[in-house]
Amino acid sequence: MLRKSLLLALVTLPVLAAPVFADALADVDPFIGTGGDGHTFPGATLPFGMVQLSPDTDMPNFHHAYGWAAGYRYSDHSILGFSHTHFSGSGHSDLGDVLLMPMSGELHLDPGAKDQPSSGYRSRFSHQSERASPGYYAVTLDDNQVKVELTAGKRVGWHRYTFAEGAEARVLLDLRPSIYDYDGKVLWSSLRLRPDGVLTGMRQTRGWAPGRQLFFAMRFSKPLKGHQLLNREQNVSYRGFKGPGHNPGDVAAISGRALEAALDFGPLNSPLLVKVAISSVSEQGALDNLSKEASGWDFDGAKTAAQAQWQKALGAIDIKAPAPIRRSFYTALYHALIAPNLASDADGRYRGPDQEVHQAKGFDFYSTWSLWDVYRAQQPLLTILEPKRMGELVSSLVAAQQSSPFGILPVWSYQGQETWCMIGYHALPVIADAYLKGITGFDSAAALKAMVASADYGPYGDLSDYITLGYVPIDKEPEAASKTLEYAFDDWTLARMASAMGKDALAKRFFKRAGNWQNVFDRQTGFARARLSNGDYRTPFDPAAVGYGSDYTEGNAWQYSWYVPQDIAGLINAMGGQSAFVNKLDAVFDTKVDPKTFAHVEDISGLIGYYAHGNEPSHHMAYLYDYAGAPWKTQERLTTIMNSQYHDGPTGLAGNDDLGQMSAWYLFTAMGFYPVAPGSNQYVLGRPFVEEASIRLPGGKRFVVKAEHLDDAHPYVGKVLLNGKALATSYITHQDLVAGGTLTFVMQQSPNKNWATGPASRPYSLSR
Amino acid sequence: MLRKSLLLALVTLPVLAAPVFADALADVDPFIGTGGDGHTFPGATLPFGMVQLSPDTDMPNFHHAYGWAAGYRYSDHSILGFSHTHFSGSGHSDLGDVLLMPMSGELHLDPGAKDQPSSGYRSRFSHQSERASPGYYAVTLDDNQVKVELTAGKRVGWHRYTFAEGAEARVLLDLRPSIYDYDGKVLWSSLRLRPDGVLTGMRQTRGWAPGRQLFFAMRFSKPLKGHQLLNREQNVSYRGFKGPGHNPGDVAAISGRALEAALDFGPLNSPLLVKVAISSVSEQGALDNLSKEASGWDFDGAKTAAQAQWQKALGAIDIKAPAPIRRSFYTALYHALIAPNLASDADGRYRGPDQEVHQAKGFDFYSTWSLWDVYRAQQPLLTILEPKRMGELVSSLVAAQQSSPFGILPVWSYQGQETWCMIGYHALPVIADAYLKGITGFDSAAALKAMVASADYGPYGDLSDYITLGYVPIDKEPEAASKTLEYAFDDWTLARMASAMGKDALAKRFFKRAGNWQNVFDRQTGFARARLSNGDYRTPFDPAAVGYGSDYTEGNAWQYSWYVPQDIAGLINAMGGQSAFVNKLDAVFDTKVDPKTFAHVEDISGLIGYYAHGNEPSHHMAYLYDYAGAPWKTQERLTTIMNSQYHDGPTGLAGNDDLGQMSAWYLFTAMGFYPVAPGSNQYVLGRPFVEEASIRLPGGKRFVVKAEHLDDAHPYVGKVLLNGKALATSYITHQDLVAGGTLTFVMQQSPNKNWATGPASRPYSLSR
């Protein structure tokens, strides 16, 4: 349903400097995060869409690929092509499937050197010619003399190429390059030019998710004047027998490991449109997606429809804030609404983690689960903004578990395929948080069964020893301290859901496991540490040490020792009481740390002392002061973080956006609250950074956050009113939020050291 | 339906020396053709079954693999393992999927050297311990101390392993080796041990049919004591993240390119049974095939059922003949009833040439189309012996065309996948022959459409030039002379079918194309030769020259110039008349030819002069004397061929059995007639080699061939009676045959040079 009136408004409304409710779409800048290591992409996608059609400036060998995890880096000067799948902000990466490059005149079959773009099909461009907004991207390729515009449907990418007048219009499809590429990544691929001019194909790659298959179907708005289907692979021992066609131009279909299609359209007097549908299931699935989702040749209509969908999605929160903050906020909201991605075809079929094709019944199947990241804030955000979709997301997790060869929930998966990246079983907090917040539309009994199966699966991450010993022993499993901590939190969320479902024995067993954090918390040093099977802590111990194979995952003891969201009261006690806790937390932020300490670990960035905002283990830390009765310190730290770690330029993200987690942190924090412990139904209060935020809720209700006297001179919370009534606690509940109403922060110049300091006013923890 | 009475009879009836009707099953010796270059396999399969479960003695690199096209060579002394897919008698090859090897005691993960079998899992064996009959194979592995027995269902292979008492019983599954192997042939593979003990997996290979996927599901009769799932691949640039399981024994699923599963069952006090279902569709397809087709653990019952199926199939012809001829005959019949192979799952799904999954409706989908071979005699044989299945075969061809990326009928395909091996579009004679013989059960309009699409598809084998010029020019396409000849024959069969369907314009167009053989027949030299685009014959010309890239396919001018089955009268004329024709045909057989002439061409063998019985282009030649009014010469040549090219030992086939074509030639010839021109509905008479053959026909009818006075001293046909009435022609029609009745050959010592000499008595040709 297109909200046409709103859309028309968008065209005419200027972006105002004054903080008023304005058009969200115009405030999104998809380039934010495309510089530095934000790893976002500037191209076109729909909310949670299957296609992410975006320019790729390079696809280097995976040894050097970190900076090109989304295919595009703002600092590059040439474009390799436009491919249909990208992760938004991942650290590790893959994808870049079905790369198209239009060109005028001479045909180039290889990309050429980056420092000499004209040696191949790669083309120089300048940011001046680029335009990007949700669902739309445009650029002019200087060498190739083509204006490229992109938009997206759910499963279809749309290209509009405007060629130089009179020039030979060509499109090259190169199935060889991949994000995080390496020699041999393409296991197999095929191309088929059908009699009706539709080009279909597939490629199977051995990347992050090994053996992943992606199919596509591509239709052109102009008749083909000629084509070549090429297999560029060299040094093949055995090629078998040659199929029909003497010349690449006679060939209707090929398979191999280095395929290209060169497509000639001759001189054109109007733009060439290309529609590309993808599918994880089959070519037929891609063909069906194409015909069901993208009839006709109305690029502008497709763009309008895409932007209308974004308008609706971004309308979930209206804010009043100055323009730079609006840009950061709505871009964050945009980035938080990209993944998980639709992974089932128009007919509901999808490829599960067993590589088999399954039928989703009654829900769309979603994948792209960066769970270690998004369980913290991005998924909790969706319980508020996208409650219906959240039920489908949980159904998707459960469906994935049911077809997992291991019988467990996704860890880090995409297009249905598992990568085993990162640690923990964080589908549990996602599901428990959704269940406890009253999200429906999934089979809760099946979900609980899937959660238990995952938490009890011995071979995964040494759960067998964890279950026996109460901790993961470092002599058996790397990064054992962080694993124990995160397992214990995940266990707590399972216990909370089991308890709510009346499964008391199960709840009891997992509440007990939730206390396992204590088994790795060394009261002597005051840090969480890894232990050996014999019970000893591993030595030597350096709380600043960080590195692969250490006690922790992408972190050190200073960063990881705070990861007990389910029992901060217990942690305070373990750390020697409230004052010691606060002092130690201060030390995290205030210690002078040489950033070189972390230079060898890709994902640790955004440093404030040991606090690393660029990576997720730090994300809850600033809010922990609330638990120790020092909410003004939370407010101070948030001010520092918001001012130093985000801005509205390409380098505006301090680290990987991680499929919206960095952005979700920003959104919650800007609105004054944060889900420190998903599954608790509590939002811990910080301080707002927008004058007003109005959250759209089901049934026409709204939850409005207001910040009175908000400016740089008033960074502290004086008092908080919930629906006009003074709030004594430093948290609100999900029930408060979904009931609708108004949360008012009255800001002031100096800290209020009397508000929410007592035990009864602090957020929930296991011990209460 | 088990014919139990017959089966019981089998057990008690001795094989008699005297030529009486006896048990066909007992007369089959699956070892015939496993020596020399027959390329048959001795293992267990059902008639036209999906599974061919057979021992492999070696799987050498494809450069040296010709002799191991069926995995087994009788001259080898050790066995590599038992795999589930084999071609029966192919020249080029592939398969050998899902190789299992049982062993007692020490676990070996690699096969070891062929000259030192004990260095690996390979095991010595002796032929003394081998037993093979249709649907059953047994051998004792000397090194591995296991008695192995194999039987087969349609889609399921059954193994029974009897281990040494008290020994550790182990089974190794090695997904690495392949028939016609080379480094990198396995594109991708996976293994999954399910909680219920079923092992499933797949492998995708880049062999003869590139990108072929084969799935399997394997169930064991004893509980697993332990397992290891191993990925043996070395030097992988990128391995991604490790899945669950510290040790191979914890691992429930893996994927990669060099997978093995080592399965431990501990000491057993009874045999271990393994049931393995395969599928081209999916693991779920294999699981369903397994559960639907193979319940329980009754190996003997499965064997009995398999042999009952063979008993029924072999019961299609009863003969009276001496034991050696019975063995040759029934083994030939066995070999003629193995392929095409079932390729659809129990639920009717199959993978088409587009690699997509399709649903067969109302028929089983068959593949393994060695069409260049089998269109000559093996497929025509099935129109007589398996008329119902023949309808399904045609439906399968048409279904394959409908999902072909090229829109054409199979050329040489298996498991639904195309290889493009050999020349011509010989699905046309298969379909036309079936249609003209009244075979039903397929959509004849769709079939005709598929035939025209194939015959008019320009990019295939330079059909575009063939259509324009009336011949394939050798400067554009290799082996142009043989292609022109075979295309013209195929065209004639299309024309015949179109004519019978009342499509006169189409018939006219293709009858004209059927005359194209004349465009490559050089009356000056008297040979069919390749021409250039400019119309000149290519020079220099040597009618004895043979080799890849020559004017002919696996042959020379002496062999190929006779390939005008649709117009032998025209050929006689072109060769200068009846006498010149006969003299030249005599020269083919009588010229003294050094076999070394053909040593560099793998498939040419079985030489009698230039006549090469080991390869198909010669197969109709001996019958051509009939067309020139000299049937006694046909009889003489057949006597020579039958006595020199077939015997009842392992080297009893003079060349590749080619999926039953060599065997079908034997069967027809032994019964006294041969389908020289499929699509003509005529069987050209030779001379019988069995005293009596009784062919089972639908509706309880029989067509009986009798040979009176048959012995070595009476090699000539004196007269022929059809249903007691003297036959003046040297052919009978299919109508004569299917009507039922008796064809009596009265044999005599000397040639009858008066019978069937006149033009009116000769077989059909285009000019009549």
State yes or no: pLDDT of B15 exceeds 70.
no
Its sign, for the CA torsion B64, B551, B585, B562, is: positive
Question: What average pLDDT score do residues A261-278 get?
Answer: 97
- What pLDDT score does A15 carry? 41
Q: Is the peptide bond before A340 cis (omega within 30 degrees of 0)?
A: yes
> Are A211 and B195 in contact (CB < 8 Å)?
no
> Are B250 and A184 in contact (CB < 8 Å)?
no
> Are A244 and B192 in contact (CB < 8 Å)?
no
- What pLDDT score does A322 carry? 96
Q: How does pLDDT run across B671-707, given as a tens digit for each residue?
A: 999 999 999 999 999 999 999 999 999 999 999 999 9
Average per-residue pLDDT for chain A: 94
Is the distance from CB of B197 to CB of B220 less than 8 angstroms?
yes
> Are A240 and B357 in contact (CB < 8 Å)?
no
Report the range of poorest mean pLDDT among A387-401, A598-612, A670-684, B75-89: A598-612
Question: Cα distance from B242 to chain A (closest Cα, Å)?
Answer: 6
Q: How does pLDDT run across B446-492, given as a tens digit for each residue?
A: 999 999 999 999 999 999 999 999 999 999 999 999 999 999 999 99
> Are A240 and B418 in contact (CB < 8 Å)?
no
> Are B240 and A419 in contact (CB < 8 Å)?
yes
> Are B283 and A356 in contact (CB < 8 Å)?
yes
Burial (CB count within 10 angstroms: exposed 0-12, middle 13-18, buried 19+), residue A238 = middle
Nearest by CB to residue B243, choosing from A251, A420, A476, is: A420
Nearest by CB to residue A211, choosing from B182, B190, B405, is: B190
Q: How does pLDDT run across A38-71, given as a tens digit for each residue?
A: 999 999 999 999 999 999 999 999 889 999 999 9
> Are A188 and B204 in contact (CB < 8 Å)?
yes
Question: Which positions in chain A touch B175 (Cβ < 8 Å)?
Answer: none
Query: Which residue has tokens 């083309």?
Result: A123
Is the distance from CB of A728 to CB of A688 less than 8 angstroms?
no
Nearest residue on chain B to A477, alpha-carbon basis: B246
Asked if A437 has any chain B CB less than 8 Å from its own CB, the reply is no
pTM for this one? 0.95
Nearest residue on chain B to A62, alpha-carbon basis: B238
CATH number for the segment(s) B31-312: 2.70.98.10
Best probe of the B interface among A238, A420, A460, by most B CBs < 10 A, is A238
Q: Residue A21: which pLDDT band, with cuts at 50, 70 and 90?
A: low
Interatomic CA distance for residues B338 and B329, integer angstroms = 15
Question: Which positions in chain B touch A180 (Cβ < 8 Å)?
Answer: 238
State yes or no: pLDDT of B277 exceeds 80.
yes
Question: Cα distance from B187 to chain A (closest Cα, Å)?
Answer: 6
- Topology (CATH level 3) of domain A37-237+244-312: Beta-galactosidase; Chain A, domain 5 (2.70.98)
> Are A252 and B405 in contact (CB < 8 Å)?
yes
Q: How does pLDDT run across A382-406, given as a tens digit for each residue?
A: 999 999 999 999 999 999 999 999 9
Nearest by CB to residue B245, choosing from A188, A209, A459, is: A459
Interatomic CA distance for residues A492 and A509, integer angstroms = 10
Q: Residue A766: which pLDDT band, with cuts at 50, 70 and 90?
A: low
- Side-chain-facing half-sphere of B80: CA atoms under 13 Å: 29
Chain B, 341-400: which have a CB under 8 Å from a chain A CB?
354-357
Between the CA of residue B26 and those of B311, B326, B696, what are the distances in Å? 9, 10, 19
- What pLDDT score does A17 carry? 41
> Are A208 and B240 in contact (CB < 8 Å)?
yes
Interatomic CA distance for residues A691 and B383, integer angstroms = 85
Its sign, for the CA torsion B290, B291, B297, B299, is: negative
Instruction: Strands of B61-109 (E only): list them.
Output: 78-79, 81-83, 99-104
Chain A, 556-615: which have a CB under 8 Å from a chain B CB?
none
Integer distance in angstroms from the first to the last C-alpha of chain A?
Answer: 46
- Side-chain-facing half-sphere of A426: CA atoms under 13 Å: 26
Question: What average pLDDT score do residues A746-758 get?
Answer: 97
| DSSP per-residue codes, A257-273 | SSEEEEEEEEE-SS-EE
- What pLDDT score does A169 carry? 97
Question: What average pLDDT score do residues B296-311 get?
Answer: 97
- Topology (CATH level 3) of domain B345-457: Glutathione S-transferase Yfyf (Class Pi); Chain A, domain 2 (1.20.1050)
| Antiparallel, parallel or unpaired: β B99-104 and B131-133 | unpaired
Report the range of poorest mean pLDDT among A21-35, A218-232, A321-335, A411-425: A21-35
Q: Residue A113: which pLDDT band, with cuts at 50, 70 and 90?
A: very high
Q: How does pLDDT run across B331-375, given as a tens digit for each residue?
A: 999 999 999 999 999 999 999 999 999 999 999 999 999 999 999
Q: Is the peptide bond before B340 cis (omega within 30 degrees of 0)?
A: yes
State yes or no: pLDDT of A575 exceeds 90.
yes
Give the amino acid at B18.
A
Asked if B407 has any chain A CB less than 8 Å from its own CB, the reply is yes
Q: How does pLDDT run across A135-174, given as a tens digit for each residue?
A: 999 999 999 999 999 999 999 999 999 999 899 999 999 9
Asked if A646 has any chain B CB less than 8 Å from its own CB, the reply is no
Question: Six-digit token pair at B756?
Answer: 């069937």
Best probe of the B interface among A347, A356, A371, A465, by most B CBs < 10 A, is A356
Nearest residue on chain A to B460, alpha-carbon basis: A244
Question: Cα distance from B355 to chain A (closest Cα, Å)?
Answer: 9
Is the distance from CB of A314 to CB of A24 less than 8 angstroms?
yes
Question: What average pLDDT score do residues A255-277 get?
Answer: 97
- What pLDDT score does B547 carry? 81
- What pLDDT score does B548 carry? 78
Question: Which positions in chain B touch A245 (Cβ < 8 Å)?
Answer: 459
What percent of chain B has a predicted confidence (pLDDT) above 90?
A: 91
> Are B238 and A406 in contact (CB < 8 Å)?
no
Best probe of the B interface among A63, A188, A466, by most B CBs < 10 A, is A188
* Angle, in degrees to the nearest 10, between helices B444-455 and B387-402: 50
DSSP state of A118: G
Q: How does pLDDT run across A491-519, given as a tens digit for each residue?
A: 999 999 999 999 999 999 999 999 999 99
| Nearest C-alpha neighbor of A529 from the set A564, A482, A572 | A482
State yes or no: pLDDT of B379 exceeds 60.
yes
Question: Cα distance from B326 to chain A (closest Cα, Å)?
Answer: 39
Residue range(s) occupied by CATH 2.70.98.10 in chain B: 31-312
The radius of gyration computed from the CA coordinates of chain B, to the nearest angstrom, equals: 26
> Are A459 and B421 in contact (CB < 8 Å)?
no
- What pLDDT score does B235 carry? 86
> Are B251 and A459 in contact (CB < 8 Å)?
yes
> Are A420 and B240 in contact (CB < 8 Å)?
yes
Average per-residue pLDDT for chain B: 94
Predicted interface score ipTM higher than 0.85: yes
| Nearest C-alpha neighbor of B97 from the set B108, B112, B82, B113 | B82
Largest distance between two CA atoms of chain A: 85
Question: Cα distance from B21 to chain A (closest Cα, Å)?
Answer: 46
Residue range(s) occupied by CATH 1.20.1050.60 in chain B: 345-457
Question: What average pLDDT score do residues A255-262 get?
Answer: 97
Q: How does pLDDT run across A438-468, given as a tens digit for each residue?
A: 999 999 999 999 999 999 999 999 999 999 9
Asked if B250 has any chain A CB less than 8 Å from its own CB, the reply is yes
Interatomic CA distance for residues B282 and B213, integer angstroms = 9
> Are A238 and B357 in contact (CB < 8 Å)?
no
Question: Cα distance from B263 to chain A (closest Cα, Å)?
Answer: 18
Chain A, 173-212: which have a CB under 8 Å from a chain B CB?
180, 182-185, 187-188, 190, 192, 194-195, 202, 204, 206-211
Q: Residue B183: which pLDDT band, with cuts at 50, 70 and 90?
A: confident
- Side-chain-facing half-sphere of B639: CA atoms under 13 Å: 18
What percent of chain A has a predicted confidence (pLDDT) above 90?
A: 91
Nearest by CB to residue A253, choosing from B206, B209, B405, is: B405
Best probe of the B interface among A61, A206, A402, by most B CBs < 10 A, is A206
